[in-house]
Amino acid sequence: ARRAAGPLGAAGRAVQRVALSSGSQDAAHDLETLRKHKVTHILNVAYGVQNAFLNDFIYKTISILDLPETDITSYFPECFEFIEKAKIQDGVVLVHCNAGVSRAAAIVIGFLMNSERLSFASAFSLVKSARPSICPNPGFMEQLHKYQEQNIKANGSINDHD
């Protein structure tokens, strides 16, 4: 995971500290790479992908279908709780799906929007800079935009520093 820095300070540090990277099942099955990046926790949001190293990492598996009609935001509370627990333990989290472009990216973007109170655009940009191949499906993109609107209504503002 590339370290994020720059104008998004706190969010960049959140990505760095939690090593919230989205990745593919290949990354999740490469023990050497996981150890190199000091991963401690793995959030598997793929459908039908087995966890490879049960004795080496703390896993959470939530089978999410990569379909535009899947309500990705309904999985946010459970995913965010796992990430937050890892953060409290100074853990490093890999969030992965099959290809690492849609589901995992949407979860990480949503987490940054929630925990750092970022706009969708800022959270997307931050994750895209760390993993250029991300491309959440159109349904997830629409839901993330609505999630931003809900966050603004609930919290009154966002913390972007563009």
Q: Are 46 and 98 in contact (CB under 8 A)?
A: yes
Q: Is 97 a catalytic residue?
A: yes
Nearest one of 14, 11, 15, 9 to 130, comparing CA atoms? 15
Q: How far, in Å, CA of 162 to CA of 150, rounded?
A: 21
One of 92, 93, 97, 130 is an active-site residue; which one? 97
Just list the catalytic residues.
97
